[in-house]
């Protein structure tokens, strides 16, 4: 059902500092920041050839990653994103097997302009999973 790894997301307390670190220290090509108010984050992507690294910074007081950063003030790995061909079929198969989809269970448009869903970390050994339809 899952396809290739689309990206690994890192929550960061200071996006500008993280961009400087990745761009200037690691020599990465970093995308322009993209505000996603419906997700409560500002993101940048770093293409590393075989996948991407997503850097997430909270956007607004209701940001879903703010509690993560309160527990992990230096930041850290937030989620992994896998590609799926049909997000509705994937959701239905997962919920039929007992997995929980976060939110209302309906896909939302993600940073790449494609439908995404998040799966409850307690159902996946503590890892927050994002599915993105390709």
d(CA 66, CA 78): 11
d(CA 52, CA 89): 25
Among the listed residues 54, 57, 83, 130, the single catalytic one is 130
Active-site annotation holds for 57: no
d(CA 94, CA 113): 23
d(CA 116, CA 96): 18
Q: How many CA atoms lie within 13 A of 68 on its CB side?
A: 22
Residues near 105 by beta carbon (within 8 Å), at least 6 away in sequence? 91, 95, 117
Catalytic residue list: 130
């Amino acid at each position: 059902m899952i396809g290739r790894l689309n990206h690994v997301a890192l929550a960061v307390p200071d996006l500008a500092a993280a961009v400087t670190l990745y761009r200037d220290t690691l020599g990465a090509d970093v995308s322009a920041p993209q505000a996603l108010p419906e997700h409560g984050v500002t993101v940048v992507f770093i293409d590393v050839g075989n996948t991407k690294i997503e850097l997430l910074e909270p956007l607004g007081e209701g940001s879903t990653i703010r509690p993560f950063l309160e527990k992990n003030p230096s930041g850290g790995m937030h989620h992994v994103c896998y590609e799926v061909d049909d997000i509705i079929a994937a959701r239905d198969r997962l919920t039929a097997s007992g997995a929980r989809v976060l939110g209302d269970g309906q896909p939302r448009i993600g940073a790449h302009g494609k439908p995404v869903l998040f799966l409850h970390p307690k159902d996946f050994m503590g890892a927050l999973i994002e599915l993105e339809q390709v």
